[in-house]
A and B are shown apart, each in its own frame.
Chain A
Amino acid sequence: MRIGVFVCQCGTNIAGTVDTAAVARKALTFPDVVYATSYMYTCSEPGQKEIQNAIKEHNLQGVVVAACSPRMHEPTFRRAVEKAGLNRYMFEMANIREHVSWISSDREANTLKAADLVRMAVAKLALNQPLFSSKVPINKRVMVLGGGVAGIQAALDCSEGGLEVVLVEKNSSIGGKMAQLDKTFPTVDCSSCVLGPKMVDVSQRENIKLYAMSEVDSISGYVGNFTVQVRKKATYVNWDLCTGCGICTEKCPSKQVPDPFNQYLAPTRAINIPFPQAIPKKATINKDYCRQFTKGKCGVCQKICPVGAIDYTMQDEIVTEQVGAIIVATGFDLFDYSAYGEYGGGRYPDVISGLQYERILSASGPFGGHIKRPSDGKEPKNIVFVACVGSRDPSVDRPYCSGVCCMYIAKQAILTRDHIPDSNCYVFYMDIRAPGKNYDEFVRRAQEEYGVQYVRGRVGKIYPKGDRLVVQGADTLLGVQVEVEADLVVLATGIESASGAQELAEKLRISYDQYGFYLESHPKLRPVETNTAGVYLAGVCQGPKDIPSSVAQGSAAAAKVQALFSRDTIETDPQVALVNERACIACGKCIEVCPFGAIQWKELRGGGRKAEVLPSVCQGCGLCNATCPPKAIQLQHTTDSQILAEVNILCA
């Protein structure tokens, strides 16, 4: 092969500690290398031009650029060599910046190492093969998992763009956590008033198909062509008939049923609609508390239902949906405050979570919007807010900031002072984190206009005294211990990943971090994509964020889907596994280990079978290659022979 080597100086980035001219001279002595040079900025227009000219002039069949990390400029150079008539995979990059010049100032050693890396790239390139992409059609339907505000926004934006949307929500209504909030910061506008119209919009769009009380069972396929099995959980109410009139709830004799929507502050009935603005507004039976199921007789709702919608024999139903892209917006759960035994959350009825306080504040909440203590219904006068409960605390394995607690307790304190003007509000905080638009002003307003007393320090202990609670903590600014007698304590419980997030990630074949938040492709430059093509992220499932950011990410995910669907076909990446059928022993081990379901059996005409890779599903992880005993399955562009060639150079 005739190979050209181009050693980039990257200004002084590389040339400062590497003798690039010497590397180029040395490269000329390597097998197959017929041309080598050094240039100031190889990625610049003239730098690329020089490569293209050299390809023509020296009749090059392959090009090595020794420069920076391929992450950024490999596509640039691939395009450049392609324009000069080479296959884009007849190109290799040696990273002599991040791997050499930036990590050592020993010029002599650096120059030797750079030459070695070039030599490895040359040895690999000598075994490169031209590779070609194929095209697969795109099914232009999108599935949105999760009907919180991020999912709703994504669904509406996709629908707006004319796409067919399948929205899957695990609860009986969409709305998510935002539907449980009373007001939103920093504008203090009514949460359900701003969310409600969007929810109604979802139900009215003809191109949005909503599956509430549903979860994803399994996912197969690949970008452009996913097949998703959705489990519609039995509600025991025929939703095609149910009008949401609510008579069943009124008459249901099972009255002590825990109500997750109201955060267990007040009971609900065994058949209920979670809240007045629910979409879809349909009743659901809680089987664990329904007398028909627990005692075998009751049937009140069935008798009373004016449309005969009650069906105690209903079973889960599996529906299959074909979509081309999936937006994951599965939200979050709240930190379990009982982990802090010293705060007494869960033991003392008047130590509550932030979300419980939202329900207390809400006009549709258990107390009709009047602030009352859960224990005795009295109006509290002294209210203490404790920040960072399950945030920024490595001792409970939650070292990250939940991002919203500072703001929501400022909001709740303001609302408290509004509701009960003669109340005293105290906030124990570590730092105030209010980086959003108008956020810091909002916190200042709480402090200055509303007279909320901010105490910088952690709470050490909360214990009951009579019918009140004593909050003991430190004021680290004054350097004193403080004690506040409180009627009500609100713990600003932090955010954690939704339960079941990891199981779903495995179905979707996306990555998650150690806390269960889904990993974006790149923390800065690809914040919406996952490493599985065609699967996008929106909202808190990717990491703690507030409503504006969740909505923005929902729209961003929708934009990504629109961009994907703006083409009729997609080009596959040819750097995937390929089976050499002559060497395949049909042991099927590759099929077992493939985490993407990208390998299947191919039945041969004369009987017998061989493994076959679906190139559009394969992510090129190489597990199959490592597992295959006769190495019949090879990653294109990173074959065993190519790796061995590099290793041999390194060890020579």
Chain B
Amino acid sequence: MSEIKTKQLRELVEAAFPELDTVIGWEAGYDALHTTPVFIKDAKDIGKLVWNPLCVRNLSGYLVKTPPVQSADENKKIGIFVKGCDSRSIVALIQEKFITRDKLYIFGVPCQGTIDWRRVMKAAPLKNIQSVKMDEKQLVVEDADGTHSFALEDVLARKCLRCAYPNPLMYDVLVGEPVAPRVTVKNAYKDVQELENRSLEERLAFWTKELDRCIRCYACRNACPLCVCQDRCIAETREPKWLSQYMHTSEKFLFHFIHSMHLAGRCTECGECERVCPMGIPVTLMKEELNKITRELLNYEAGVDPNAVPPLLTFSPNETGI
């Protein structure tokens, strides 16, 4: 399945390549359980591109993070691979005019879920991984000790288990056939619903325990395609001085509150922040909660309609729902 798609996507890139400057995609990583981003500038490298359920990383951040991937030749576009979730980041960046649609050539990949390698390693410590195969029900990994199989629910990324948009919303060409979503948008917020059902004290205890582990490495911020302030982030400026160097949970709370508030109604729930957190803190949950509120109050979903304006980025005196 993955092999067929990989072959197909290489052919599609081959066909489109004359009008492209760079193609951002995924290539094989240091073992069979990992992939890594690759930037194809030369047609002879197209063979490096792969597609499999380990292509977790949302590549859209490369379009805006310093230095952004740009075409030197005005007439050429940047090719980029997106899954359903990644395409919403692209849509959001277009909405906010950080990128323009006509400079992009989007290869859309319908996706049946990506693997969270940390969950795999937690389930079974693997060594010298030889091969990884996924079908509709399970993941089969072959390593030095033999063959291990895992039920998909146990190893898929959390964001994939609650994915309502497996098919790219915006693309120039689709790799393969669209797939059925795992859940509807309405049912995508069960994780935060579960948290909401707890008492205030329990929630505070939950977050205090989780955020106390935060080491303020800002990896979550750096990985977020919509965190666009970068070196101007107020986590690091001292004018205004919102955050200090004081190492206390309150400062960690404040950072994550600011991060979440800046993403309210903008976050497309690609899960990068949670994926990159070295401490395994479920930080996407905060953004999910804000998105849930935005959906309920303002009937808005981020990264769906490129012409929509995120509700917190506009002034509308006739706003309904508040």
Contacts and interface: CB of A to CB of B under 8 A. Distances in A.
A7 B19 CA distance: 74
Interface string B223-252: 000001110111001011110000000000
Interface stretch (A90-98, A462-470, A476-484, A622-630): A622-630
B313 A589 contact: yes
Contacts of B232: 583-585, 630, 632
A592 B313 CA distance: 6
B298 interface: no
Contacts of A629: 228-229, 234, 262
A362 B62 CA distance: 75
Contact of A627 (B97, B240, B312): B312
Given A583-B237, A587-B98, A623-B315, A631 B242 contact: yes
Q: Which of B229, B242, B314 is packed against the most chain A CB atoms within 10 Å?
A: B229
B210 interface: no
B168 to A, nearest CB: 25
A152 B57 CA distance: 67
B96 interface: yes
A278 B242 CA distance: 64
A627 B98 CA distance: 17
A585 B239 CA distance: 15
A196 interface: no
Interface string B302-322: 000000010011110100000
A630 B229 contact: yes
A630 B227 CA distance: 10
B314 A593 contact: yes
Given A592-B314, A593-B315, A630 B234 contact: yes
B315 A587 contact: no
B310 to A, nearest CB: 9
A634 B240 contact: yes
B228 A631 contact: no
A587 B234 CA distance: 15
B230 A585 contact: yes
A594 interface: yes
Interface in A573-628: 580, 583-585, 587-589, 592-595, 623, 627
Nearest to A621: B315
A201 interface: no
Interface residues of A, number: 24
A623 B317 CA distance: 13
A589 B239 CA distance: 20
Contacts of B315: 592-595, 623
A641 B312 contact: no
A644 interface: yes
Contact of B317 (A506, A587, A589, A639): A506
Contact of A631 (B96, B240, B309, B317): B240
B314 A640 contact: no
Contact of B228 (A585, A595, A627): A585
A599 B289 CA distance: 32
Contacts of B233: 630
Nearest to A509: B317
A587 B240 contact: no
B229 A644 contact: no
A592 B309 CA distance: 9
A359 to B, nearest CB: 35
Contact of B242 (A588, A594, A640): A640
A258 B309 CA distance: 42
Contacts of A641: 239-241
Contacts of A631: 234, 237, 240, 242
Contacts of B314: 592-593
Contacts of A502: 317
Nearest to A624: B315
Interface in A27-81: none
A365 B97 CA distance: 59
Q: Which of A506, A588, A592, A634 is packed against the most chain B CB atoms within 10 Å?
A: A592
Contacts of A589: 96, 313
Nearest to A512: B317
Contacts of A506: 317
A606 to B, nearest CB: 16
A639 to B, nearest CB: 6
Contacts of B312: 627
Contacts of B98: 587
Q: Which of A580, A629, A631, A639 is packed against the most chain B CB atoms within 10 Å?
A: A629
Interface string B258-279: 0000100000000000000000
A580 B237 CA distance: 12
Interface in B278-313: 309, 312-313
A502 B241 CA distance: 40
A460 to B, nearest CB: 37
Interface in A488-525: 502, 506
Given A593-B313, A623-B315, A588 B240 contact: no
A512 to B, nearest CB: 9
B253 to A, nearest CB: 14
Interface string A224-255: 00000000000000000000000000000000
Interface string A358-388: 0000000000000000000000000000000
Contacts of A630: 229, 232-234, 237
B242 A644 contact: yes
B263 to A, nearest CB: 9
Q: Which of B98, B228, B315 is packed against the most chain A CB atoms within 10 Å?
A: B315
A583 B229 CA distance: 9
A639 B239 CA distance: 9
Interface in B5-51: none
A634 B97 CA distance: 23
A640 B230 CA distance: 20
A629 B264 CA distance: 12
Nearest to B317: A506
Nearest to A648: B241
A529 to B, nearest CB: 20
A95 to B, nearest CB: 24
Given A629-B229, A630-B233, A587 B96 contact: yes
A517 B233 CA distance: 43
Given A588-B96, A627-B312, A630-B232, 10 more contacts: A585-B230, A585-B232, A587-B98, A588-B97, A592-B309, A630-B229, A630-B233, A632-B232, A644-B240, A644-B242
Nearest 7 A/B pairs, CB to CB:
A640-B240, A630-B232, A630-B229, A641-B240, A595-B315, A629-B262, A593-B315
13 contacts: A583-B232, A583-B237, A584-B232, A585-B228, A585-B232, A589-B313, A592-B313, A594-B315, A595-B315, A627-B313, A630-B233, A631-B237, A640-B240
Interface of B: 96-98, 228-230, 232-234, 237, 239-242, 262, 309, 312-315, 317
